[in-house]
Chains A and B, each alone.
Chain A
Amino acid sequence: LNIKKKERKDDGGRRPAVGERKAQRTRVVISNTNALNVPDIELMTAEGVVDENNVGKVMALPVTTVDSLRAVGAFKNTQGWKFFRTPSTLIRKETVEMARKLDEAAKGEAIRQVLIGEKKSGKSVLLLQALAHAFMRDWVVINYREARELTMGFTDYAPIPNTDPTRYSQPALTATLLTSIVQANRDILSKLTTALTHNPPVTLPQGTSLLRLAELATNDPDIALPVFHALWSELTYKPPADAPPASQRPPVLLAVDALAHFMRPSAYLSADAQTIHAHDLDLIQHFSSCLSGASALPNGGAVIAAMNNSDVPSAKSLNFALARAEAIQKAKKAEGEAVDVPTWNPYEELDERVFGCFDPAVVEVVRLGGVSKEEARGVMDYWIKSGMCRKEMRSKMVNELWTLSGRGVIGELER
């Protein structure tokens, strides 16, 4: 038995600097200059996404939208963006439906959706398409980048005074969120001006641009949370009908991927060394109240959350709430047909705060399945044209692969 400590062999390379590994690990590449340029690809437009005739087409995202999407962290490095010349997405049936609902929601009645579905069925990409559509329609888009980072307990946090039950702020993460809001919505925010007076530390004269307001805290995490709330109250301010254009408010899209992290106890500890529930963190509380409908969006807009099926913590109450909401909505649509509504195991504790977020009448559960054969054909055609797939496309091959991929689960098709 050799228990002597082994000497570590030095491979001669320099040690990575602080944060370098993470930067390399999470680096998102969305272009590949080796890939062939697809000449006949159409550019995605807000009108094109709503058009039913475009189902099955792959459309390239416009450059300005790509910049905004990057800023809000919509591209993931686990998705295959790095293999193609320009980031492009398949317009599927669900995309058109989603875009139409968003256009409806812009008129005043906000929608609240949770995207569920199998692994690799395209939930995150559908969320990205929703974000892209919102950007193209000049909405204000707030995307909570990585849900995991908000609850994993790696950043600073502090109890907010005079709150009961105690809520916690996350200054650094709030500042990061504000930074991404500023970067992604610079144009639209610079056109809008403040209409309300705010309490210190937010001291700005009325009529300052919202961009200026948001930028207050991008470098100052200490005032990030008050600034965020001030910005939100400005965005949800309902102006009188005869207000000047600068006081009008666009719809807001609030989105998050990997919702499960928000719907369970977080990794943070309270002063009594008790686990802090994710809903006690102020940023997450803000999102969940918007999702549940407790906070209204008077100017229209949407709250969309996507579930994530790989590398997720267990959130039983969330899964139950979603399954129940889906069953009830299905029963409502079917009208008369018997639908099994799941019941909670009485010997387990139900997380009431999580369960309360998903009122079937308010939150719509959208299940994503596989793509149709026509859509599969469209996306495979795109792969062949960009030189990714060196095969001749025949309908037999499309059918075979469509079947092999579990009736068109897009991520499996991609393999």
Chain B
Amino acid sequence: MANPRIFRSFTAIALPIRPQTARCASQRLAPVSIQCRRSTRASSSNSGEKRPKGPDTDSLPHVSEEAAATAKITGDKGPDIQQGTPVQEVIKGKKELHDKLPKVMQDEKSSTEPPSGTRSFSTVARRQEDLQTLPSTPSSLPPTLIPSSSLPLSTGVKFGTPTLPLPPQTHLKHRDDPIVQQVTTLLMRHGKLSVAQHNMSFILSHLRTAPPPKLNPARPLVAGHPPPHQLPLDPVMYLTLAIDSIGPLVRIRSQKGAAGGGQALQIPVPLRQRQRRRQAVMWILAAAEKRAGKGGTKNMFAQKVADEVVAVVEGRSSVWERRNQLHRIAVSNRSNVGYKKQPGRR
């Protein structure tokens, strides 16, 4: 077995496998043997001249670079500097270097002597990429049974077949915009979905008929939104804009006792889009509940929510303050982002 320490030091200078390894493959080497030594100076040689030189920075060039320079003088084709040179090529034919090689390579060298047998075929595993590009074998099935784009799919169908995949929102139960669906279910109380849907339709028609919002430059909305006078014509976008503009990017997770002294450590955790929207809607609903009523009507709650949505877009809502506060906490605790609970610690 190879010494793990030596192995580790060896792989530190290793390059990933190159796609073009014809020479290496022809030698039928094990994975270790095709590692290459990176000619690190090749890429940094141009920019190195600009740097101020220290007393001992002017060292000898790499063997491959030296060989390339020699080949240029003599007019031969030297090694490709961009590719790097396999270690095996460097030590090839240099018996005196054999003793100085790491033990893995010494063992490897003895095992990679050409085999004495007369096997006429290669036993090297075929690479996956080659397999994938193999032409498919012709099928013995009759052509009518093989699905093909040339055959009309709609034979025997009176109105033709729908183009697949079906566009989103064609399913009866998911026909609404995703955000409308999410907000509707968040509006729902006591499992009364149809009441929630009624409220949602009230909110959307209020957004459609209310005067266009006056934007507040101090409260920037999501970038790339349409101008405010166009918003009432697309109430779903109006609602989406309000929700996405105040959706927080993170939540704060409190890890008990992790800050030392029994104090909780506040860890910012990123949220997915749906989670962000949910938080934004919950904030809007909470703010709407606190609004003063304008004389009771049947749709008073929906009226309050609709007013709050407009207030969010106009930057008047208290939800903005809430969001900014959360982001401030998250930024001040940003060093805790990678925190993982230590095993064995409570």
Contacts and interface: CB of A to CB of B under 8 A. Distances in A.
Given A13-B293, A390-B234, A33 B298 contact: no
B205 A83 contact: yes
A190 to B, nearest CB: 36
B236 to A, nearest CB: 9
A144 B296 CA distance: 28
A16 B295 contact: yes
A390 B235 CA distance: 11
A11 B210 CA distance: 24
B211 interface: yes
B209 A83 contact: yes
A14 interface: yes
Contact of B211 (A20, A29, A34, A387): A34
A327 B142 CA distance: 62
A21 B296 contact: yes
A12 B304 CA distance: 13
B295 A15 contact: yes
Given A36-B233, A387-B233, A390-B233, A21 B208 contact: no
Nearest to B210: A34
A13 B298 contact: no
Interface string A14-52: 111100110011000100111110000000000000000
A159 B94 CA distance: 129
Q: How large is the interface on A (under 10, 10 to 19, 20 to 34, 35 or more residues)?
A: 20 to 34
A82 interface: yes
B212 A34 contact: yes
A25 B291 CA distance: 20
A12 B205 CA distance: 26
Interface size band for B: 10 to 19
B248 interface: no
A21 B293 contact: no
Contacts of A15: 295-296
A284 to B, nearest CB: 29
B297 interface: yes
Nearest to A82: B209
B212 A24 contact: no
B4 to A, nearest CB: 65
Interface in B38-85: none
A14 B296 CA distance: 9
A25 B297 contact: yes
A82 to B, nearest CB: 6
Nearest to A80: B205
B294 interface: yes
Contacts of A21: 295-297
Contacts, number: 48
B232 interface: yes
Contact of A13 (B232, B233, B295): B295
B145 interface: no
Contacts of B209: 29, 32, 34, 82-83
A21 B291 CA distance: 18
Interface centre among A25, A29, A34 (most CB of B within 10 A): A34
B232 A11 contact: no
B1 to A, nearest CB: 70
A387 B230 CA distance: 10
Given A13-B295, A21-B295, A390-B233, A33 B211 contact: yes
Residue of A16, A17, A82 ringed by the most chain B CB atoms within 10 A: A16
Contacts of B297: 16, 21, 24-25
B151 interface: no
Contacts of B229: 34
Interface in B244-294: 291-294
Contacts of A34: 208-212, 229, 232-233
A13 B292 contact: yes
A13 B294 CA distance: 6
B295 A83 contact: no
B247 to A, nearest CB: 24
A24 B296 CA distance: 9
Nearest to B292: A13
A278 to B, nearest CB: 27
Contacts of A82: 205, 209
B234 A17 contact: no
B207 to A, nearest CB: 9
A390 B232 CA distance: 12
Given A36-B233, A387-B233, A83 B208 contact: yes
Given A25-B298, A34-B233, A390-B234, A11 B293 contact: yes
B16 to A, nearest CB: 51
B168 to A, nearest CB: 15
A32 B293 CA distance: 24
Given A24-B297, A25-B297, A12 B208 contact: no
A90 B208 CA distance: 22
Contacts of A29: 209
Contacts of B205: 82-83
A11 B292 contact: yes
Given A36-B233, A82-B205, A16 B211 contact: no
Given A32-B208, A34-B209, A34-B211, A24 B233 contact: no
A358 B293 CA distance: 49
Interface string B296-322: 111000000000000000000000000
B179 to A, nearest CB: 16
B208 to A, nearest CB: 6
Given A36-B233, A387-B233, A390-B233, A14 B295 contact: yes
B178 to A, nearest CB: 17
23 contacts: A11-B292, A11-B293, A12-B293, A13-B292, A13-B293, A13-B294, A14-B295, A15-B295, A15-B296, A16-B295, A20-B295, A24-B297, A25-B297, A25-B298, A29-B209, A32-B208, A32-B209, A34-B210, A34-B212, A34-B232, A83-B208, A83-B209, A387-B233
Interface of B: 205, 208-212, 229, 232-234, 291-298
Given A14-B292, A14-B295, A21-B295, 7 more contacts: A13-B294, A16-B295, A16-B297, A17-B295, A34-B211, A34-B212, A83-B209
**Sorted from nearest, which 9 A-B pairs have the closest CB atoms?**
A13-B293, A16-B295, A13-B292, A34-B232, A387-B233, A12-B292, A11-B293, A24-B297, A20-B295
